[in-house]
Structures are given as structure tokens and as C-alpha cells.
Structure 1
């Protein structure tokens, strides 16, 4: 007669839960910013710095607004004079012509609201500005990586850093600077979007001229779809990186503690 199964002894080893592993693939395309000549970089920084100083664009912060300390006496109302300046950007209309910061430049590129975009080469890690390469190329917006952009322009604007700077479509105060900087930037190329910015501009002009000859319905449809990109003739040589599989184990050294047993109260 077989013996009845016995309950596991108290204090037996608990079964460990399976470790969760996240698998991802790397990007097989090689993408990087074009190299900017030293003379061109100096010209871009000097022209922008001089223009910003001339316009007087800076961020003003009210230094009286400090964190209240516990137990500190509440200060009385301070007299306001004519020299008092409110917190914010001054002049405000110049600030609306620019996109400052990586997030603001990214949103403006997604909405096709920029005519020029610049990023700082000292941004760390480099991947925080790498996505702007695809965005600027897909929107046919000239863009480039400028060394010491943040070190030169941040003190002028009274900011800690300027990792990205964009000029909006309507920016009359920076018209001369945009026209002078654009031809000095290297072309932005993406492997799956063949062609340079010059070719894209020609396609835009061709599409706009052809749309004038068509009827109103066709013209509205072309405006909604946007200009077509002309693919270059012949096979394109695209360099791919070796495909790698990356497995990420979240918190690999985590030790799961068994739940505390309830203490039995003696009656």
C-alpha cells in the first residue's frame, strides 16, 4: 500500500520566480551629424551672440521669490519702483521667434514650424540630440551641430545651458543670420531618405509650380499630402551595422525576501 503524500516540511525552500528579461534590437543604420568647419563655427557663434546682445533677449527671474523656510518671519510688502522688471523673457516678441531647448525644438520640427535648427556638440549623452537628425531631414530643415553653442549663448540669454536652438518660420529679427548660416551647414542625410537638402528644395519648388497648373481640388490634395521626394537614380550604398540582440534584466541583483510570518499570540 502506497504511503499517503506528506505535506512539505516547514521552512522548505520557496520556488523562485522567473526573471523578467526584455529583448531589444539595436539600430542598424549609422547616423551622425556632419562636421562643421572651424571658421564656419566661429562665424555662427559670433553672429548669433552679437545679434542676441543687440536685441537684448534674456530671461529675467525675480530674485525675491525664495523658498520659504519653516519658522522664518513673513516679510512685509516691498515697495515697487519704476525699475522693477517682472519675471519672464524680455522682449517677449523676440522670444516667440525662437525655439529653445531640445523638447521645444523637437515639437517645432514635428509641426514643421522651423526654418533652421542648431544643436550643441557638448550635449551628453549624445543620443538626446540624435533624433533631431531624422526630424530635420524629413522636414527638409537645415540643421547642424555647433561646438560650444551652449557655452557662448547661455550667458547671453541668462540660462544655464542651450543644448538646442531653432528659428521659427516667422523670425524677421533673425532674417540675415538665418540666410548667412544656412549655406555654411553641412547637409543632413538619412540612409532611408536619400537626397540632400538642395534636392529637397528643388522638389518643393517643382511641386509648387506644378500645383499652380492644376484645378482647385487637385491643388488642395497636393497641399495635404506635401511635396514628393525625388529618389536618385541608381543603387544606393547603405552601410549597416551588425545586428545585435540586447537583453536587459531589470534589477538583476534584487533579492526577494520571503514575507514575514505572522506572530502567533499565546492565549
Structure 2
């Protein structure tokens, strides 16, 4: 026997209220008070860099073909080992001081995903450049769907491969500059604060209590440095 069940108005209202209270996923991230932007690269320079980059990375194409000469595959693997592909791998490489040149695609991902690379590359003295259409130009050479960040490791780590390309890009493109850092004798140091004041800090110490004697207080003055 089938029984018809009815839902009271209170139950319906509770169901609708629970649906309205569905949790919304919220992701928090830190914002910088400074405006971080990639140095502007002229269109003619960008096209020249991308053309030379594509031509240089075409040597890695043998890795995609199973019928390629084993010697070519071995050489291509060695050259591929001198590259860091992807945001995570590039970030770790820069933090360890292993990246000599960084290229970021400005048309592939939202800026927030690569924003940290601007300050990080400057602090680690890694030449960084933002280029549009980078992913479309080199992704097929590397055998991946897209390339958001591409890092060239130090000359020692990549065995001297791509050296002419790295020097060419550095010569043609401007380096990243941060507003709160100032170059002094080739070293990046924080700009001195003109309102710096030498403070005097007072420190109080208490001597051990002795018989029939009151607690004595010692006052010492320290100069904050």
C-alpha cells in the first residue's frame, strides 16, 4: 500500500533556508601595497625574442618522436634538463638561486598566479621578462599544453646550452625594478628611512631578596640599534 506524505510548511521553509545557507568557498590571499608590473617590452622586440626562442627550442622536438635517433634524444634530454617549466618549478628554482632567466606568459593565466615572481626574481637577481603569446610559441616544442612560466637555469646547470639565447634576451629586454629597493654599488638594499630615530630603552632588573632587606631595583639603560 502506498501512502501519500505531505510536508508541512515549516519543514519546507527549513529546507529552503538550508539551501540558501550553502557554504561559499572563500580563498584568502595577501595583497601588496605596491603596484607590481612587468617591464614593458616593445612589440618588435617581443616578436624578435619569441622567434629566436622558438628556433632555439626546436632542438627538443626529437623527444616527441619515437623514431628519432637515440643520440639526438639523449642530447635533447640533456638540454631539456637545463629548463624549468611551470610556476611551481620556476618558483623553487628562483628561491634556490638556480634560475638565470625567467620568461612569463602574460596572456595565459590571470596575473595573480605569476605576480609573486616579479618581486622574487628581483630579490634573487634573476632577469625576468613578461611576454604575450609565450605559451602559444613554445608549448609544442616542450611537449606540453601550455607554458605559464619558463626558466633557464644557470649556465653551469644547463651545461652551457642556450647561452646565446639567454644573453640575447637579457640584452634586448629591461630588467624588473621594485619601488622599495634601490640599487647601491650593484647590491639591492632597502632604502634608508629618513625618519629613523635612535631610541633609548630602559630595562629593569630585580636583585635576589636578602634577609631583612627590601627588594632592590636596578635600572639599566640600553641603546637600541
Larger fraction in strand = 2
State the partner residue of 1:218: none
Q: Which runs of 5+ in 1 are unaligned?
A: 1-10, 14-18, 63-81, 204-227, 236-267
- Partners in 2 of 1:190 and 1:150 — Cα distance? 26
Q: Does 1:113 align with 2:98?
A: yes
How far 1:90 moved relative to its partner?
Answer: 6.9
State the partner residue of 1:176: 164
1:39-50 aligned at under 5 Å gives the runs 39-50=44-55
Counterparts in 2 of 1:49 and 1:233: CA distance versus 1, 3 Å: same
Residues 119-175 of structure 1: CA deviation (Å, up to 9, x unaligned): 001132211111100110001111010110000111222210011111101231201
State the partner residue of 1:188: 176
**Which of 30, 33, 38 is the matching residue for 1:28?**
33
1:106-145 aligned at under 5 Å gives the runs 106-145=91-130
Q: What is the Cα-based RMSD across aligned positions, in Å? A: 3.3
State the partner residue of 1:7: none
TM score, norm. by length of structure 1: 0.54
Q: Secondary structure at the match of 2:102?
A: strand
Q: Which has the higher contact order (CA 8 A, sep 6+)?
A: 1
TM score, norm. by length of structure 2: 0.63
1:85-96 aligned at under 5 Å gives the runs 91-96=76-81
1:1-267 aligned at under 5 Å gives the runs 26-53=31-58, 55-57=59-61, 59-60=63-64, 91-170=76-155, 171=158, 172-195=160-183, 203=186, 229-230=188-189
Counterparts in 2 of 1:89 and 1:122: CA distance versus 1, 3 Å: farther
Q: Which runs of 5+ in 2 are unaligned?
A: 1-10, 15-22, 195-225
Counterparts in 2 of 1:234 and 1:113: CA distance versus 1, 3 Å: same
